[in-house]
Amino acid sequence: MKTFSPLPEIGGFHARLIAQSAEARAAFQALPILGEAVQGRVSREDYIAFLIQAYHHVRHTTPLLMACGSRLPARLEWLREAIAEYIEEEVGHQEWILDDLETLGVSRAAVLEAGPSPATELMVAYAYDTIHRGNPVGFFGMVLVLEGTSVALATRAADVIETTLGLPKKAFRYLRSHGSLDVEHTGFYEGLMDRLHEPSDQAAVVHAARMFYGLYGAVFQGLRSAPSLAVAA
């Protein structure tokens, strides 16, 4: 699928990004609901709430990538080309989530009408703000958080939740497919980050990664307080 080949440098920025965002990542990973998910101690309602909020931020992935690409300076043309490949692979993933929710008895109309939780809305708004007000390269801090979380948790959580709750396999297309895709993206992302040499670009990604761990954590923390939607029998 991917034909663009970033040229990493040994001991480049990616390793420092991981180290400099470690504290924020540890705080995110310590959230009780994440531990409960991989142990199968979540409810059907928890999973539905997660999918609803996932829809309301994933549907912005392609527009955010487009916005980021449009704002990059000419010196980062190679990164704009990489974004075009990200877009090709990410487009339409929100439809997978709606399919999963329909399998669980939640109508598409109900999801669209409900809108995002405040935490999800704030995270998405901050992503757009990062691109339009700050350094657009900072958006790759969000990519680190979302893709890294998928790699670490998605497939494992899907297997446990399916078994524990007895849900149909076709209710997990988003988690399983996205987790597998993000494993493929990991090396590609690392190569991109190792081509960032400008200190201001590097600082923008580190700052955004720290922020998005907190913002995404707030999305998970609010899942059980979000209003429930009507589920078909």
Residues 141-175: tens digit of each pLDDT = 999 999 888 766 777 888 899 999 999 999 999 98
Question: What architecture does CATH give domain 13-225?
Answer: Up-down Bundle (1.20)
177 against 86, higher pLDDT: 86
Secondary element (H or E) of residue 181: helix 173-193
pTM of the model: 0.89
40 has pLDDT over 60: yes
- How is residue 95 written in tokens? 């439809």
**120 confidence band (pLDDT: 50, 70, 90):** very high
Q: Any idea what DSSP says for residue 194?
A: T
pLDDT for the residue numbered 184 = 62
Mean pLDDT, residues 64-79 taken together? 97
Mean pLDDT, residues 105-111 taken together? 95
Nearest to 90 by CA among 116, 123, 121, 59: 59
pLDDT for the residue numbered 227 = 62
Mean pLDDT of the chain: 89
